[in-house]
Structure 1
């Protein structure tokens, strides 16, 4: 591509940047999701063993990678707020399980937003890169034919180098797009698993709250 024009070089530079950024996102998300899954398993085990939520609340910082921590903190905060009020029998009790559910739902939305962050960039790279590469190819072919018109020499030895260099842009566009698309689809599957886990923990938290405080 040493003889490519400035537009073609700019296209290749953009695709190279897109590819680099997508790989940064892929690696970061892979590490984050792996750490979150492992931490969530340990958090669930510790939560099931816990008999005192107040004491357990002091230990959740070591599970900060888990999205379940955000749900527990939100749910515990709502439960604690309601238990400050004494019921008709003189004992603290929950007045509204709906409020507890809403606090868990809000926390779930926040945690899913944190897990989904930057995935839109992968979708953009996957969708746009082939078209940018195609633009570079078309522009390169136009430049090649302009060169032919200027020299008046249209034999294969003259045309082939320019065409082949132009097609490189399409190839690089696909190289940038395919890993981004594959990673995006894979991470979407991971997000569905996280959402299922968050929903399951919410139901478990609500059940324990009803059993212990109503």
Structure 2
């Protein structure tokens, strides 16, 4: 493994750094984007029980504002429960945008890694081929072992760049789909809360 890294040249360092960053992002996002952490089951029912018993105190709403993402969305609606339906929805949408932005954290970096690692590999290919032609100019084509070194560098960096980019693209797509799914779940629960509050105020 070390021999391959050394054979690939200095461009292996940024490619391997990208692979470490991508792996860290994927693990962190899979841990953070668990459904229980974002849309805890029973959250709407708990808020509804507090609402029916008249226990929607400022302290309770403040607790929701500091809670899980779905609870923060609920807190926005509850804070404006005496306003019109439009105002309630607007406040929920504003907090929802902030929450979704947080759910998408680091995904832009992952997409960038997926885009640049093949280019780094391609750059390694170009440098490797330059080395090959330099050797040909200096020593001719009589020593295939010397030529193989430059070609090997080109192939190793290209393969490594693609090996990082392909899983990065895959996991980026998976994580974006998970964020979309969680966002739709929060939107559905928020609409139910707005309906409950609006009917009660009607």
Task: Output the TM-score relative to the length of structure 1.
Answer: 0.80
2:147 maps to 1:145: no
Pick which of 158-167 and 120-129 moved more.
Answer: 158-167
Instruction: Decide whether the 8 Å contact of 1:36 with 1:67 is kept in 2.
Output: no
Measure the CA separation in 2 of the matches of 1:12 and 1:106: 43
Task: Spell out the pairing of 1:170-189 with structure 2 (5 A cutoff).
Answer: 170-189=158-177
Task: Spell out the pairing of 1:21-100 with structure 2 (5 A cutoff).
Answer: 21-34=21-34, 36-37=36-37, 40-50=40-50, 51-52=52-53, 54=56, 57=61, 60=64, 64=67, 66-79=68-81, 82=82, 94=83, 96-100=84-88
What do you get for the CA RMSD once the two structures are aligned?
A: 2.3
Which consecutive aligned stretches of 4+ in structure 1 deviate over 4 angstroms post-superposition?
35-39
Instruction: Decide whether the 8 Å contact of 1:148 with 1:158 is kept in 2.
Output: no
**What is the deviation of 1:57?**
3.5
SS in 2 for 1:26: helix
2:188 maps to 1:194: no
Q: How many residues align?
A: 194
Unmatched tracts of structure 1, length 5 or more = 83-93
